[in-house]
Chains A and B, each alone.
Chain A
């Protein structure tokens, strides 16, 4: 019963504190909401685009150029042998006839493959490797395949793969740093605000200490107040994210259609919305406790 009473008292005091300074409270909520809205919007768009990004994310490939002397059954045998190598996720054949037809089509020559006589292009087997791939395992596959009969040459795109991966890592790190800085910024602003606020209520703190209130009892209203601030700010930030999604949905769909990629921007998932709200409340509570304790201990 006493724990419930203490919580009720703290919540009542937090609401009273908001009532006492509504403008400052609303300004604080708006400031935090703006700070949170940007990383949340970026995160939600990235999350929504995740399936599309996964499709374009390359897996390293090894291209095996088969000798032009190889017959169809030789190519099929090579394909089977390639598929049996550990770490190879799949092998696709790019037939030399299809490659020649595509070359003629792209070059704009008005000729037919039959007029060229013998097809000068090789069949190409493209082996896609399982992720993650180390440089050593890729080298091992390349070296092994190079020694096979009827294989002219072998090339891997490890460098390209590495560059794309590095770019993706850079983007992820930049986003995490940016998001982390925003959270740190919000935390510092709120700690400072709570500390100042508790400082202006030094008389109340002194009375509470005099009558035997525990530090927990003293700081709890500030924890509620900060949790309320962050919860409301995150609701506003999420509303902004939903609004941004609604505004961007049609233009993004149009752009994606122009590239022949069906991509729709969905709203944030309910579980993510709940996670953001819960995180905001927990962070707000912690920030309130830290700020108020700093004010009380510094008296």
Chain B
């Protein structure tokens, strides 16, 4: 018997194979999209508003299922996954959506600790991880006890990013994370994301802004009218 040899190239973390997503039965948000995201890669998904970038992000984290084609994330076919398994996949993803979805009825620290609690960590461990994540995104300790709606847009963006990384995900998805930031804030955020990539995390960032300085290590996927251009 021949011993199994490890593959020369590990399988991609995310693969889209001829993926089409229709809304309301006939409105195409994504058409025949085929691409992959490799491990420790920084991918910029660029294109104008309404091009289908958010749909890609929502498909990767299982908030949508493709109308046709196949979306595979970490070896799991999103459309064929059992609903019960989906939360466990999502714990390996860190997601920052356009609407930051921060909960204003609790503190910043509690917002960031939430994914860790949902993943089953003890209260103390979850808060410890949340503190570390907040430190990673350079949020002042003073703001950790306040509610998110008391923070500036840039600070809220960083809280959302801290929440996305608190479970140490393999893939971070960020949908227009620089939309409400000034140039300095956007630059800082990109540097943070680049640091994640250096640490072995795959990052996919959707953006429509040409103003965003492209990170040197980033691969750009251009999407227009629901079609991914090479």
Contact = CB atoms under 8 A, between A and B. Distances in A.
A262 to B, nearest CB: 59
B114 A208 contact: yes
Contact of A9 (B115, B117, B163): B117
A119 B79 CA distance: 99
A2 B120 contact: yes
B6 to A, nearest CB: 29
Interface string B66-108: 0000000000000000001001111101010100011101000
Chain A binding site: helix, strand, loop or mixed by DSSP?
helix
Contacts of B101: 203, 206-207, 210
B120 A6 contact: yes
A115 B95 CA distance: 111
Contacts of B97: 210
Given A2-B120, A5-B122, A5-B123, A210 B95 contact: yes
Given A5-B120, A210-B97, A211-B163, A204 B103 contact: yes
A188 interface: no
Contacts of A2: 120-122
A217 to B, nearest CB: 6
Contacts, number: 62
B90 A210 contact: yes
B120 A212 contact: no
A214 B120 CA distance: 10
Contacts of B198: none
Interface string B108-130: 00000011011111110010000
Nearest to A206: B101
A213 interface: yes
Contact of B103 (A1, A207, A213): A207
A105 interface: no
B117 A210 contact: no
Of residues A6, A203, A206, A212, which shows the largest number of chain B Cβ atoms within 10 Å of its Cβ?
A212
A210 B103 contact: no
A162 interface: no
Interface string B19-47: 00000000000000000000000000000
Interface string A210-236: 111111010000000000000000000
A6 B119 CA distance: 9
A212 B88 contact: yes
Contacts of B91: 211-212
B103 A212 contact: no
Given A203-B101, A207-B101, A212 B122 contact: no
A212 B123 contact: no
Interface of B: 61, 63, 84, 87-91, 93, 95, 97, 101-103, 105, 114-115, 117-123, 126, 163, 167
12 contacts: A2-B120, A2-B122, A20-B105, A203-B101, A204-B103, A207-B101, A210-B63, A210-B95, A210-B97, A211-B167, A212-B91, A217-B118
Interface of A: 1-2, 5-6, 8-9, 16, 20, 203-204, 206-215, 217
Given A211-B167, A212-B167, 17 more contacts: A2-B120, A2-B121, A5-B122, A6-B120, A9-B123, A203-B101, A204-B105, A207-B102, A210-B63, A210-B97, A211-B91, A211-B95, A211-B118, A212-B90, A212-B91, A212-B93, A212-B115
